[in-house]
Amino acid sequence: MNYKMIFKVLGYLLLIIAFGMIAPLIISAANNQNDLIPFAISISLTTLTGFILTKIPITKKKIKAKEGLAIVTFGWIFASLFGALPFYLSGSIPSYVDAFFETVSGFTTTGATIITDIEILPMGILFWRSFTHWIGGMGILVVAVAILPMMGAGGFHVFKAESPGPIADKIVPRIKDTAKILYVSYIIISLAEFILLLLGGMSPFESAVHTFGTLGTGGFSTRNSSIGAFNSSYIFIVISIFMIMSGANFSLYYDLYKGKWRDVIKNSELKLYLSIISISVIAITLNMNTHLYHNLFESFKHSLFQVSSIITTTGYTTFDYEQWTTFSKGILFMLMFVGGSAGSTGGSIKVIRILALIKLIKRELTKILHPRAIVSVKFGDKPVSEGTLLNISSFFMLYMMIFILGSIVISLEGIGFMGATSAVAATLGNIGPGFGFVGPTHTYADFSAFSKLLLSFFMLLGRLELFTVIALLTPKFWRTEL
């Protein structure tokens, strides 16, 4: 294990995190608020630690798969530990465990919060809180891959470990250029939403904050009532569209730029993703039009928003969906286990894995009817290797095992079955709000410190694709050469 290289990269990562705190520092200074000094101290401590780590002399620059996994996992932990400093030092979140929970929730784009009154927070804190979504959405280490020459070819191992989905494809041959293309697409789409929200009447500050929350599929807002506080159909629709866009594979936007429209239209994952959204929206619209709203447009508007928010694991709300019928809530609960596409900023199991599992079931049924038939599973025209299929099946089983065991442990809080299961589903799937004890009008503030740390661990597991984190917990990982 090349420990020196790992810590050196982590040092550069901390410098990136410190740089990210400059914008909220400026906002705090411009508005003469009491979080200026806490941000200055946080930047100083993060910069100093990062600078010391970058000065570690290294003899071996090569980053192998093992180092890639360690850099990504510890990178997210380091980012959360130091990213929590502004919350804690400003007194916005007096408990460091709570501040860590909030920061992990931000970077992993979960959106679960322990803050009961968001609207009293200083503007710098609100900005940093949502900016962590935007940084974590595309990937904290993807920035390092894009700007650090020292990463070299080994950057692919970092990129692969952090990329959401079973297959981490390079858009172009050089991984550094791939990272740059992804971030350029991310920035352009962010600017588009920012402008449209401005046109909808949001202030520049709130437009920026909600753009971060939407593109990062995180869901932190400046209002206690989330997006519902704006009471604007225009804003509801705009954010719904951009949530759906953020839940799609970002490499498809590069394909559109290159004129590969047919490839995008024929993409099987995108088809399933949009189909699930369409069917869910229609089903909930019809159900809620009959039982609650009695207005087709109102039913459609809230249905589109909430379906888009849950399947992309954003977590924004326009209405307390706990008041919906059991049928509609059941659909939302199932969507919590679907998630966005591979290569998106969304979390949970991912549409590509759901598609693979459907095709696997179809193949097994075909084999029963035609025992001698040789049937391969394909994504489009490309056959999927048995190794990838095994990885997807293993991931699904592990995901469900963690969900069940986690729900049992969290149930010790005495919050009831729905509260425990939805808390684990919402954190493991990086969604944020759930049902019951952690519904859209509740927070995670009443959990014990142990449960908050456990749920923070689930958030990291969900964002880093389970195997990345769990591999580091096995003694064999530290002994063998990968």
Higher local confidence (pLDDT), 472 or 94: 94
Higher local confidence (pLDDT), 331 or 65: 331
**414 to 107, 258, 446, 451: CA distances (angstroms):** 28, 54, 11, 12
pLDDT value for 371? 80
State the binding site for K(+): 109-110, 218, 313-314, 430
Q: Fill in the DSSP letter of residue 154.
A: G
Amino acid letter for position 174: R
pLDDT tens digits along 282-318: 999 999 998 888 899 999 999 999 999 999 999 999 9
Average pLDDT over the chain, rounded to an integer: 88
Q: Fill in the DSSP letter of residue 383.
A: E
pLDDT tens digits along 192-247: 999 999 999 999 999 999 999 999 999 999 999 999 999 999 999 999 999 999 99
Residue 285 sits at the vertex; the CA angle it makes with 283 and 286, to the nearest 5 degrees, is 70
Answer whether 480's CB lies under 8 Å from 64's CB. Answer: no
Q: What six digits make up the tokens of 164? A: 């959401």
pLDDT tens digits along 446-455: 999 999 999 9
**Poorest-confidence range of 141-145, 300-304, 322-326?**
141-145
Mean pLDDT (whole number) for 371-389: 80
- CA 261, CA 248: separation in Å to the nearest integer? 15
Amino acid letter for position 233: S
pLDDT value for 153? 47
Answer whether 402's CB lies under 8 Å from 81's CB. Answer: no
Q: Check whether 173 has a pLDDT greater than 70.
A: no
Q: Check whether 122 has a pLDDT greater than 60.
A: yes
pLDDT value for 292? 85
Mean pLDDT (whole number) for 340-353: 88
Share above pLDDT 70 across residues of the chain, in percent, rounded to a whole number: 91
pLDDT value for 481? 58
Q: Check whether 476 has a pLDDT greater than 60.
A: yes
Q: Which long-range contacts (CB under 8 A, 24 or more apart) does 320-325 make?
A: 320/439, 320/440, 320/441, 321/440, 322/435, 322/436, 322/439, 322/440, 322/441, 323/292, 324/284, 324/288, 324/292, 325/287, 325/288, 325/291, 325/292
- CA 209, CA 138: separation in Å to the nearest integer? 16
**362 to 351, 356, 399: CA distances (angstroms):** 16, 10, 22
Question: What is the H or E stretch that residue 193 is in?
Answer: helix 175-199
Higher local confidence (pLDDT), 120 or 345: 120
pLDDT tens digits along 12-47: 899 999 999 999 999 999 999 889 999 999 999 999
What is the residue-wise DSSP string for 108-121?
TT------S-GGGS
**Bridge-based pairing state of the strands 378-379 and 382-383:** antiparallel
Partners of 98 in beta bridges: none
Residue reference for tokens 């005495």: 414
- CA 203, CA 146: separation in Å to the nearest integer? 32
Q: Check whether 148 has a pLDDT greater than 80.
A: no
pLDDT tens digits along 238-279: 999 999 999 998 889 888 888 889 888 989 999 999 999 999
pLDDT value for 39? 96
User: Where does the pLDDT of residue 142 fall: very low under 50, low under 70, confident under 90, or very high at 90 and above?
Assistant: low
Residue among 231, 215, 169, 188 nearest 223 (CA)? 231
pLDDT tens digits along 179-188: 778 888 889 9
pLDDT value for 111? 92
Q: Is 131 exposed, middle or buried (0-12, 13-18, 19+ CB in 10 A)?
A: buried
Residue among 215, 392, 227 nearest 313 (CA)? 215
State the binding site: 109-110, 218, 313-314, 430
Mean pLDDT (whole number) for 124-148: 81
Residue 320 sits at the vertex; the CA angle it makes with 97 and 409, to the nearest 5 degrees, is 40
Q: What is the CA radius of gyration of the chain?
A: 22
Amino acid letter for position 3: Y
- CA 93, CA 220: separation in Å to the nearest integer? 15
Higher local confidence (pLDDT), 369 or 298: 298
Share above pLDDT 90 across residues of the chain, in percent, rounded to a whole number: 57
- CA 89, CA 95: separation in Å to the nearest integer? 10
